[in-house]
């Protein structure tokens, strides 16, 4: 791990996120070093120079000089990959890997199969957090949406601890679905939930949506339903790990569990089952109280995708005999040349 000394704002943990946003807004965050937490304090790297010092001096923030982990590592990684694969191929690999805790998961294009061991070693050497490198050995499969993975480099394990939006989660990437790519959506939902809300997450996985909402809104009651027993085991452990009293994990099929316990219960429903999620929209209508907001995630065509997704919702509303109002929509992420993932927020009367 390469460290670099420089100025940083020292701030109490509870004020760190707000201060980070403020510093980003002022253009003062140093993007070449990582923030660090020590005990009750967080060190936020800021840029040096006269202008920055002047802006910071009137801010009332405590400025210290500390060594923080440098981001330059990524640059070395890029260079090493370019040396090994050439510019074009390197670009493809760079855009196709995720880091979950200390595990790197990389999708290696077929034409680079012969170089996979070297790619694995480069990832291990260059990604500061990496202790394990795994290769995707197929698409997401079955109802549990699990990706087959093969070992490429580092320690031989698939279990890790991942932190996101102030929540720690243990999970096994070989036994459950997990994607760090929805972290900004989870943050968005956290900020929308109001005190006292009853929130239902019918496809909860190891609990990222449910846990983060529960942590962010201690006065909300959050229930996650999940079909994969391994995912529920981690979900329950993660509730204990984060000491959350307002989050409940239920093992079972979302449709059956809602019919049994949650008809007309929810003020808010997050439906993070993008594949075939529209087939479960009837479950959302069943669980919704009047005024309930649903966050519906769906994979749709790049062309006309929003109309397609709204069409699913309108059709389900018609079948349920309920009125709806669309309140928000956006592209969550591109998926392929012809598909994207979108979220549609709508209110059920
Ligand atoms: C796309 S994943 C989302 C997981 C989690 N919310 C996340 O963001 O990491 C969908 C999850 O739904 C679960 N699932 C699939 N069908 C289900 C059903 N009928 N009832 C409950 N959960 C289901 C799968 O096992 C999987 O964990």
Tell me the pLDDT tens digit for each residue of 91-149: 777 667 889 999 999 988 888 889 999 999 988 888 878 999 999 997 777 889 899 99
The answer to whether 143 touches 227, Cβ cutoff 8 Å, is yes
Q: Does the structure show a pLDDT above 90 at 60?
A: no
Minimum mean pLDDT range among 139-153, 184-198, 286-300:
139-153
Beta-carbon contacts of 140 under 8 Å, excluding residues fewer than 6 positions away, are 146, 147, 177, 275
Distance between Cα 137 and ligand 1 center (Å): 21
More confident position, 343 or 276? 343
Beta-carbon contacts of 11 under 8 Å, excluding residues fewer than 6 positions away, are 19, 41, 42, 44, 61, 62
What residues does 341 pair with on adjacent strands? 299, 333
pLDDT of residue 78: 78
Nearest residue (CA) to ligand 1, atom 24: 144
Classify 321 in phi/psi space as left (phi over 0), alpha (psi -120 to 50) or beta: left
Q: Does the structure show a pLDDT above 90 at 331?
A: yes
Beta-carbon contacts of 327 under 8 Å, excluding residues fewer than 6 positions away, are 293, 345, 346, 347
Q: Does the structure show a pLDDT above 80 at 164?
A: yes
Kindly list the structural domains of the chain, giving each domain's residue range(s) and its CATH number in brackets, ordered by start: 3-69 (3.30.70.2580), 73-157 (3.30.300.110), 177-348 (3.40.50.150)
273 Cβ below 6 A of ligand 1: yes
Distance between Cα 237 and ligand 1 center (Å): 17
Distance between Cα 40 and ligand 1 center (Å): 35
pLDDT of residue 266: 98
Q: Of the residues 184, 185, 205, which should be mutated to test ligand 1's pocket, given the most ligand atoms within 8 Å of the CB?
A: 205
Minimum mean pLDDT range among 92-96, 260-264, 283-287, 303-307:
92-96
Atom of ligand 1 nearest to the CA of 140: 1
Q: Residue 164's closest CA among 181, 149, 147?
A: 181
What residues does 346 pair with on adjacent strands? 294, 326
> HSE on the CB side for 261, CA within 13 Å?
13
Mean pLDDT of the chain: 91
227 Cβ below 6 A of ligand 1: yes
Q: Does the structure show a pLDDT above 80 at 49?
A: no
Please give the average per-residue pLDDT across 145-159, as a whole number: 95
pLDDT of residue 297: 95
pLDDT of residue 75: 59
Please give the average per-residue pLDDT across 12-29, as a whole number: 87
Please give the average per-residue pLDDT across 164-191, as a whole number: 95
Distance between Cα 130 and ligand 1 center (Å): 27
235 Cβ below 6 A of ligand 1: no
Q: Give the pLDDT band of residue 82 (cuts 50, 70, 90).
A: confident
Q: Residue 161's closest CA among 103, 106, 107, 216?
A: 103
Could you report the per-residue pLDDT of 277-293, keeping only the tens digit for each?
889 999 999 999 999 99
- From residue 271, how far is each of 81, 189, 202, 220, 297 by CA, in Å? 38, 11, 6, 17, 6
pLDDT of residue 72: 57
- From residue 58, how far is each of 14, 67, 185 by CA, in Å? 22, 24, 34
Distance between Cα 12 and ligand 1 center (Å): 36
Q: What is the pTM of this model?
A: 0.79
Burial of 179: CB neighbours in 10 Å, binned 0-12, 13-18, 19+:
middle
- From residue 62, how far is each of 66, 171, 310 by CA, in Å? 12, 37, 49
Please give the average per-residue pLDDT across 180-200, as a whole number: 95
pLDDT of residue 74: 57
d(CA 206, CA 187): 17
Distance between Cα 201 and ligand 1 center (Å): 9
pLDDT of residue 332: 92
The answer to whether 206 touches 178, Cβ cutoff 8 Å, is yes
Distance between Cα 115 and ligand 1 center (Å): 34
pLDDT of residue 1: 62
Nearest residue (CA) to ligand 1, atom 17: 227
203 Cβ below 6 A of ligand 1: yes
Q: Give the pLDDT band of residue 48 (cuts 50, 70, 90).
A: confident
Atom of ligand 1 nearest to the CA of 254: 20
pLDDT of residue 73: 54
Sign of the Cα pseudo-torsion (14, 16, 17, 19, in order): positive
Q: How does DSSP classify residue 5?
A: E
Task: Provide the total of helices (H) and of strands (E) in the chain, helices listed first.
Answer: 11, 17
pLDDT of residue 71: 67
Sign of the Cα pseudo-torsion (140, 144, 149, 154, in order): positive
SS3 content of the chain, % helix, strand, coil (to 5): 35, 35, 25
């Amino acid at each position: 791990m390469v460290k670099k000394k420089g100025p940083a704002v020292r701030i109490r943990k509870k004020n760190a996120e707000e201060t980070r946003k403020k510093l980003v807004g002022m253009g003062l965050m140093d993007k070449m070093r990582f923030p660090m937490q020590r005990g009750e304090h967080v060190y936020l790297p800021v840029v040096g120079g006269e202008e920055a010092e002047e802006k910071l001096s009137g801010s009332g923030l405590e400025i210290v000089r500390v060594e923080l982990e440098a981001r330059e590592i990524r640059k070395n990684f890029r260079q090493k990959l370019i040396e090994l694969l050439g510019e074009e191929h390197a670009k493809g690999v760079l855009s196709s890997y995720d880091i979950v805790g200390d595990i790197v998961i990389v999708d290696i294009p077929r034409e680079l199969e012969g170089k996979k061991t070297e790619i694995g070693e480069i990832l291990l050497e260059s990604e500061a957090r990496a202790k394990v490198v795994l290769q995707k050995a197929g698409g997401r499969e079955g109802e549990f949406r699990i990706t087959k993975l093969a070992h490429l480099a580092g320690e031989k394990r698939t279990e890790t601890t991942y932190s996101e939006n102030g929540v720690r989660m243990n999970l096994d990437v070989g036994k459950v679905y997990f994607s760090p790519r929805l972290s900004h959506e989870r943050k968005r939902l956290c900020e929308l939930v109001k005190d006292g809300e009853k929130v239902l997450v019918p496809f909860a996985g190891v609990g990222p949506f449910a846990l983060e909402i529960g942590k962010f809104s201690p006065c909300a009651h959050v229930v996650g339903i999940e079909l994969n027993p391994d995912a529920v085991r981690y979900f329950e452990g993660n509730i204990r790990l984060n000491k959350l009293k307002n989050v409940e994990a239920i093992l079972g099929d979302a449709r059956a569990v809602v019919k049994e316990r949650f008809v007309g219960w929810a003020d808010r429903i997050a439906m993070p089952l993008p594949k075939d999620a529209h087939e479960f929209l009837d479950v959302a209508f069943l669980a919704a109280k009047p005024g309930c907001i649903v966050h519906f995630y769906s994979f749709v065509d790049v062309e006309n995708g929003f109309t397609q997704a709204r069409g699913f919702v309108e059709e389900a509303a018609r079948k349920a005999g309920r009125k709806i109002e669309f309140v928000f929509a956006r592209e969550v992420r591109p998926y392929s040349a012809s598909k994207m993932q979108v979220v549609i927020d709508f209110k059920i009367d």
